[in-house]
Chain A
């Protein structure tokens, strides 16, 4: 027995297949969820994958936020279900107000695609318990609107409460305030991350297997809490 992790497909999602594969590589059972169904199919956790949901029209994630599946995800997340938003998924979590702040156009105006070094700043979330504080990892980053912004008070709160989950090292690829690559909610069950751990789970295709820890973390948590 293992945990069931849902991966939502929106119109324009790109990385749903890789996210489902990452779940399986980590030892979980992946469950495909559909944007138009307000049904979580009994999953234990959810991944909102990267891509360009609804063509990124209006603002990234702005229309996906109102998809039927999001109403049940927002409710479940508030009750403690682990949710990981990657790239476009991070944007959707911010638009849904599950996470504070917003993602804006890269300050360089360029789409950035690179293997990015990160520092894990908080191993005490549902998705990062397999890492140690300060651990450095390399996973792919690919975004055009990945600049994390929030007002100074919110940024200070995130820092003070240990809710900055990962920070960019070497360069700040998109103008994110305080080099923030990922954050979590107060309870630590909802994590948003701009780089892509699901692309770094196998030596054959990734720059590392450093991304596997995100999926292994939530699986070990779900087994530990005996939700199975």
Chain B
């Protein structure tokens, strides 16, 4: 089995009102000195068998089209050895 983790974050120049709201909440709950919060998404994808080159290429493609929008988001794709 293979496990692939895709993290999607808003590009730095895109306003993140959700992150800003969380930042405010952290301050109200007593955490001092929070200068920024950015909210993102994580996809944990489990696949049967080994991750061959074809499926790896498909995942790269889908991470850049379906899972993220390159206009406003960046992504990182990590393959975990699930054994």
Chain A residues within 8 Å of B, Cβ to Cβ: 58-59, 62-63, 66, 94-95, 100-102, 104-109, 147, 149-151, 175
Chain A residues near B13 (CB, 8 Å)?
Answer: 151
Tell whether, in the assembled complex, residue A104 and residue B14 are in contact, meaning their CB atoms are under 8 Å apart: yes
Judge whether B15 and A104 touch: CB under 8 Å: yes
Question: Is B17 an interface residue when CB atoms closer than 8 A count as contact?
Answer: yes
Q: Are B17 and A105 in contact (CB under 8 A)?
A: yes
A149 touches B21 (CB 8 A): no
What are some 12 contacts across the A-B interface (CB < 8 A)? A58-B67, A62-B69, A63-B66, A94-B71, A100-B71, A102-B69, A106-B17, A109-B17, A147-B15, A149-B15, A150-B71, A175-B15
Asked if A105 and B18 sit within 8 Å, CB to CB, the answer is: yes
B4-15 CB mask vs A (1 if < 8 Å, else 0) is 000000000111
Looking across the interface, which residue of chain A has its beta carbon closest to that of B21?
A: A109
- Set of chain B residues within 8 Å of A109, measured between Cβ atoms: 17-18, 21
Within 8 A of A (CB), among B28-83: 66-67, 69, 71-72
Query: Which chain B residue lies CB-closest to A147?
Result: B15
Q: Which residues of B contact A (CB under 8 A)?
A: 13-15, 17-18, 21, 66-67, 69, 71-72
A62-B66, A62-B69, A95-B69 known; 18 other A-B pairs, CB under 8 Å? A58-B66, A66-B66, A100-B71, A101-B71, A102-B69, A102-B71, A102-B72, A104-B14, A104-B15, A105-B17, A105-B18, A106-B17, A107-B17, A147-B15, A149-B14, A149-B15, A150-B71, A175-B17
Closest to A66 in B: B66
Q: How far is the CA of A108 from the CA of B18 in the complex (A)?
A: 9
Pair B15/A107 contact, Cβ less than 8 Å: yes
Chain A residues within an 8 Å CB radius of B18:
105, 109
Chain B residues within 8 Å of A147, by CB? 15
Please indicate the chain A residues that have their CB under 8 angstroms from the CB of B66 in the complex: 58, 62-63, 66
CB-CB nearest in chain A for B15:
A107
Provide the residues of chain B in CB contact with A101, threshold 8 Å.
71
Residue on A with the closest CB to B10?
A104
Give the residues in chain B near A108, CB-CB below 8 Å. 17
A100 surroundings in chain B (CB, below 8 A): 71
- Alpha-carbon gap, A100 to B71, bound state (A): 8
**Complex interface: chain A residues within 8 A of B15 (CB):** 104, 107, 147, 149, 175
Smallest beta-carbon distance B43→chain A, Å: 9
User: Which B residue's beta carbon lies closest to that of A150?
Assistant: B71
Identify the 4 closest CB pairs spanning chains A and B, nearest first: A102-B71, A102-B72, A109-B17, A107-B17
